[in-house]
Structure 1
Amino acid sequence: MNIAIIGSGLTGSLAAISLAKVGCNIDLYERLSYEELVDRDRCYAITHSSRKILEKNGIWSNIVSHLIPFQYLNVIDYDLNNKVQFITDDLSLEDSKYIAVGWIADHKKIMSAILDYISILDNINKIPTSVIPNKNNYDLIVAADGSNSTTKKILKKPSFEFSYDQVCITAKVLLRGIKSNEAFEILSSEGPFAVLPLGGDLFQIICSQSKKNASQILNLPKSSFLDYLSTILPDGIIADTIINETKSYPIKFLLNYSFHSGKYIFLGETSHIFHPVGGQGLNLCWRDVNSLTKIASSPILTNYKWLIPIMYSLSRLFDVLSISILTDCLVRYSRSNSNLFYIPRLFIFFILRKSITARKIIINIMTNGI
């Protein structure tokens, strides 16, 4: 099968590898250089669903040395002073063997590892251009060119989207009073924020704030920003030093009305973007890749290639919709000051603290999708 993939970011590149591994001939279209693709100051939470996909494609061993594992995930309801801790014992028996609830990945390291892996595969042809491929030359065209997809604009495919009244502030910070193998997801009325380990005392802070507060925070001098972090971090954790420039980006929700159009398939952030709470972004994109590969490699569809985009859309519908609803509800739940949520919030954390079954269900959804 001849497939064109537009975009060689983390989603497009993994799609190229995965589809090439099942015998497809891939033309990988990318307008950016290797350096431009790699040079992004960003990190991701990697779950066991992604670990399984990377293992299946023979690339896990190339990437795992670049990942920072964490054995503890602390979820805190800041306003109600409630906390639950997820540990490796809460994982399934298979996942717990890896002695990690999840991993944190630096973009530069995993992007370069994946691009280097592509270079050794004979059936991936890299085409450095921004030109959209001629659909008559391919059985399928996979658009993985991101949230501002040129492909979608040319095809005039609309999405349901809105902006949260929030900005995401990120910074790499040296912290004291925290273990190097634990991560935090903190829910507060200002918006959720995460503390992710990057090795040693270095952590990535990902903080959601209202647009008004964010503009004030971003204008703080470094010493004042560190003081601010120390007020919102869990008790006993102190922000010592900012390692890089504090950055921000708006938070939006985007969901395509359809994940395909004719022989075009919209993959990853070309078709869905959700709030970063829960760290589902890249993992959901890579589950897109896994579903597409399973369908494209099915011998039943060899003579019915026109069915592949339809089958792909149907296969991804439940997982994507479920994660979109869960993440959006979690954001609204955490920001609500309504007394209507007070008892449910207390009850949820009580059940999670007391019931390993409840923790197993939640951690399985977080790590393996729905």
Structure 2
Amino acid sequence: MKQFDVVIAGGAMAGMTLALAINKLSDKPLSIAVVEPFKADHQAHPGFDSRSIALSYGTVNTLKTLALWDDIAEVATPIKHIHVSDRSHAGMTDITTEEVGVEALGYVVELADVGRIYHSRVENDDHIELLCPESVAAVERSQNDVTVTLSSGESICSKLLVAADGAISTCCEKVGLELVEHDFEQVALIANVKVQAAPKGMAFERFTESGPIALLPMSEGRMSLVWCLKPSEADSVMSLNDEAFLQTLQDAFGWRVGAMAQVGQRASYPLLLRYRRQNISHRFAIVGNAAQTLHPIAGQGFNLGIRDVATLAEEIAASAHDPGTYQVLSQFKNRRERDREATISLTSSLVHIFSNDYLTMRIGRNLGLAAMDNLSVLKAPLLARTLGLVTR
């Protein structure tokens, strides 16, 4: 039976970042296995698909310390200005690089690009073995190790198993960690949109009575769209032809980026808050979407996941010889608790405040946006979360 120090279930963003981070931070290399069902060049790879994500300023700094940023920077588009507004109402606020004093508020990357970079890095790392296509079929834990049976029937052994296998984590189910779910009763519609006016680093979050619309700057005059809609509306909008879709989007978003000129392939998925209260168990830890999957409002989910990954990598690197001890895992849990709870709570509160059109809510959020634009004391906490400047 092959022996590893750490087995990571899931080779998408969280899992791959963790695999590469551990030995960057460790004095002595650890042997790591990454168990991944989908090959990187497979068009259907769900973790490195056609979506784009926004990496916060804090996440970029973390990736720099892990020596992962330079390659990603070549395929990243900087966010220089974030405009937040409420459709048909006065409330709005702006966040700019000049105001904050940074080169970029964050960066937009296409997951497919990052997937290629990460897989190339892993293939050239003698201490990481990518087991693909494979998935976890069974987990058996003893006092000192974990035995993982793979879908091929092969068994591998390690000191620690890390679940980075997505919101519906097979590993968490096999270990018996409860999943808490809340349905936001919204659907996220995602696509890349070409716009008349080049985005020039502008990102937009526009709140409508159906839910928020986010447009993030990309290369070649494109913007990454995340449009949150009520399920019945989402079905209707998804069924439109491209011309009718662009017109409907134009009506909802307005003309801040000129005419919506072209739309790429569209996809949609239901929006649920999914999280596990416990992010550790015996010789077992959870990171990324397996630990918590958030509503995309304010773009917090992935950046929270990277903070999980970086903290776990630090604790593993600091462990003398056994990364799966109770001391290592409890330290990871304690360091992550406050940030996890605060970010989950903030995200859910924003959805409630900005996704309905009750008069009291509308007045309150518009007063809030207006005050935030003029009072730095109100803006500072949101800025810290937006930039990912959060204590780990």
> Same fold, TM exceeding 0.5?
yes
Give the drift of 1:158.
1.4
1:353 maps to which residue? 373
Question: Which residue, out of 15, 19, 22, partners 1:19?
Answer: 22
Distance 2:323 2:266 in 1: 52
Aligned length: 365
CA contact (8 A) 2:159 2:323 kept: no
Question: Which residue, out of 86, 105, 108, partners 1:104?
Answer: 108
2:182 maps to which residue? 162
The question of 1:33 aligning with 2:39 is answered yes
2:122 maps to which residue? 118
The question of 1:309 aligning with 2:329 is answered yes
Cα RMSD (Å): 2.1
Distance 1:146 1:20 in 2: 23
CA contact (8 A) 1:20 1:26 kept: no
CA contact (8 A) 2:48 2:114 kept: no
Cα deviation code 1:225-268 (max 9, x no counterpart):
11111111233434433342221111111010210121110111
Cα deviation code 1:255-314 (max 9, x no counterpart):
102101211101111110010011112111111111101222225896982222222222
SS in 2 for 1:157: coil
Distance 1:319 1:24 in 2: 28
Question: Which residue, out of 6, 10, 15, partners 1:3?
Answer: 6
- Residue 24 of structure 1 aligns with an amino acid whose one-letter code is L
Cα deviation code 1:153-192 (max 9, x no counterpart):
2222211102221111112111124532100011122101
Distance 1:39 1:101 in 2: 23
Give the drift of 1:197.
0.9
Distance 1:27 1:256 in 2: 24
The question of 1:181 aligning with 2:201 is answered yes
Distance 2:48 2:309 in 1: 23
SS in 1 for 2:78: strand
Deviates more, 1:324-333 or 1:226-235: 226-235
CA contact (8 A) 1:319 1:369 kept: no
Question: CA 1:162 to 1:304, structure 2 compared with 1: closer, same or farther past 3 Å?
Answer: closer
Cα deviation code 1:79-112 (max 9, x no counterpart):
4232111001333x5xx1xx21111110111111
Question: Which ranges of 4 or more aligned residues in structure 1 deviate by more than 4 Å?
Answer: 299-304
Question: CA 1:210 to 1:369, structure 2 compared with 1: closer, same or farther past 3 Å?
Answer: farther
Question: CA 1:60 to 1:39, structure 2 compared with 1: closer, same or farther past 3 Å?
Answer: closer
Question: CA 1:219 to 1:262, structure 2 compared with 1: closer, same or farther past 3 Å?
Answer: same
Question: Which residue, out of 353, 361, 366, partners 1:333?
Answer: 353
Unaligned runs of 5+ in 2: 141-145, 148-156
Question: CA 1:142 to 1:107, structure 2 compared with 1: closer, same or farther past 3 Å?
Answer: same
The question of 1:172 aligning with 2:192 is answered yes
SS in 2 for 1:330: helix
Distance 2:323 2:38 in 1: 35
2:219 maps to which residue? 199
Matched-pair identity in %: 20
Cα deviation code 1:4-35 (max 9, x no counterpart):
11111010000000112213221111122121
- Residue 165 of structure 2 aligns with an amino acid whose one-letter code is D
Distance 2:323 2:55 in 1: 36
- Residue 231 of structure 1 aligns with an amino acid whose one-letter code is D
Question: CA 1:364 to 1:90, structure 2 compared with 1: closer, same or farther past 3 Å?
Answer: farther
1:235 maps to which residue? 255
CA contact (8 A) 2:13 2:48 kept: no
The question of 1:214 aligning with 2:234 is answered yes
1:81 maps to which residue? 90
Deviates more, 1:242-251 or 1:186-195: 242-251
Cα deviation code 1:319-353 (max 9, x no counterpart):
11111111111111012333333443233222221
Distance 1:236 1:193 in 2: 13
1:262 maps to which residue? 282
CA contact (8 A) 1:3 1:141 kept: yes
Distance 1:59 1:107 in 2: 14
- Residue 367 of structure 2 aligns with an amino acid whose one-letter code is F
1:57 maps to which residue? 66
CA contact (8 A) 2:20 2:122 kept: yes
Question: CA 1:88 to 1:34, structure 2 compared with 1: closer, same or farther past 3 Å?
Answer: same
1:43 maps to which residue? 52
Distance 2:362 2:79 in 1: 30
SS in 2 for 1:138: strand
Question: Which residue, out of 58, 72, 78, partners 2:81?
Answer: 72
CA contact (8 A) 1:6 1:28 kept: yes
Give the drift of 1:77.
1.7
Distance 1:52 1:133 in 2: 35
Deviates more, 1:114-123 or 1:320-329: 114-123
Distance 1:119 1:69 in 2: 28
- Give the 5 Å matches for 1:236-255: 236-255=256-275
Q: In proportion to residue count, which structure has more helix?
A: 1
